[in-house]
Amino acid sequence: MDLEERFKLVAGVGEEIVTKVELRQLLEEKKNPIAYDGFEPSGMAHLPFGVYRPLLLKDLIKAGIKFKIWLADWFAWINNKMGGDLDKIKTTGEYFIEVWKAAGVPSDKVEFLFASDAMDSIEYWERVVRIAKVTTVARASRALTIMGRREGEMSEVAQYFYPVMQASDIFHLEADITQLGMDQRRANILAREVGPKLGLWKPVVISHHMLINLEGAIEPEGLDEAGRDWHMIQTKMSKSKPSSSIFVHDSEDKIRSKIMAAYCPPKEVKGNPLLDYAKHIVFRSFDAMKVERKAKFGGDTEFRKYKELERSYIAGDLHPLDLKNAMTIHLDKLVQPIRKHFEKKGSANSLYERVKSYQVTR
């Protein structure tokens, strides 16, 4: 695979890249750059985590990226996930690994690492302190949105460690690329700011799109950058908001029920979750999207590109109900192998039942 093909694949997973020039240079210099993403182990796996993320990983692996998945158990502990019970958090991390394997993430090409394994390292904590020394309180406060919380919600000093630790993770993992969601960009930009100050490198930041929840995401006018960030965090599909999320364990009937209740106004693209999933999941997974409908409503039709689907929807040629029916079929096909994997008796099913029994806390 030549440089242009590799660049196109890697850049294709990002909604924002800081910077494209640096990314191209990195790919020229390294055949197998290291990228990472970090996840707080909490709750059941949903569409962004169990379906969308593996799709992006597969493209990165094709381009020769060596990927490290950071199971951020201590971060979930600091963020009071799973009631702050570290044992439950670690069990959830094991369940997460099983989800990715079921979704087709090749375990021989992706390295799974628990953050807690690094916590007895003097070098790790020395780097955290060094980063904290060159980071102002105001700068750290602006980065607190990566926890899905606002500054006023913080009640523990430990929560202020979070963004500095996350920046440190990048250097601990020797990551050339930070490949996390748009909601994590503030910590990644912080790493770019502090890296050169400490004689370290400046990572390339590739931030992927955040799938919106089933309730839709119409952004109010006049928001500043902080307001837009918070709006994105509040309207993304979240495991902690089960009624507005689709999970990899949902039955076809449950998926259909959720999609039928989803925000999907006729001819409207902005904030429409079903078009969002079509663009970022369906057209990444299938060569075409088939829409089945009765002859009196135009008969079956097929779209080979997202833009074709969008134009048809805006024109009113594609009705919301037809879109919902088609999305139910396609999303269920993607969820089905993961769902079936956990339905079989065995270690995966045991992990699922244990995590399902835990009370999820935000």
Average pLDDT over residues 304-327: 96
The CATH number given to whatever domain includes residue 301 is 1.10.240.10
* Domain endpoint, select from 207, 227, 255: 207
Is 237 inside any structural domain? no
Single out the residue of 140, 202, 200 nearest to residue 165, CA to CA.
140
In a domain, 186, yes or no: yes
| Residue 198 pLDDT greater than 90, yes or no | yes
CATH of the domain at 177: 3.40.50.620
Name every residue whose Cβ is closer than 8 Å to that of residue 110 and which is 6 or more positions away in sequence: 57, 61, 67, 68, 69, 100
Say yes or no: 188 and 311 in one domain.
Answer: no
Residues 42 and 181 both lie in one domain:
yes
**What's the structural domain count of the chain?**
2
* 109 vs 143 pLDDT, higher one: 109
Main-chain phi, psi angles of 318, to 5 degrees = -110, 120
Same domain for 301 and 191: no
Residue among 197, 181, 134 nearest 14 (CA): 181
The domain boundary residue, chosen from 180, 207, 234: 207
Q: How far apart are CA 253 and CA 212, in angstroms?
A: 21
pLDDT category at 139 given cuts 50, 70, 90 is: confident
pLDDT of residue 160: 80
Asked if residue 189 and residue 330 are part of one domain, the reply reads no
Q: Are residues 184 and 263 located together in one domain of the fold?
A: no
320 is in which domain, residue-wise?
243-357
- C-alpha–C-alpha distance, residues 38 and 175, integer Å: 12
65 with 176, same domain: the answer is: yes
Residue 233: inside a domain:
no
Q: What's the Cα-to-Cα distance from 77 to each of 101, 158, 237, 361, rounded to whole Å?
A: 24, 10, 21, 11
60-108 per-position pLDDT tens digit: 999 999 999 999 999 899 888 888 899 999 999 999 999 999 999 988 8
Chosen domain end from 191, 207, 223? 207
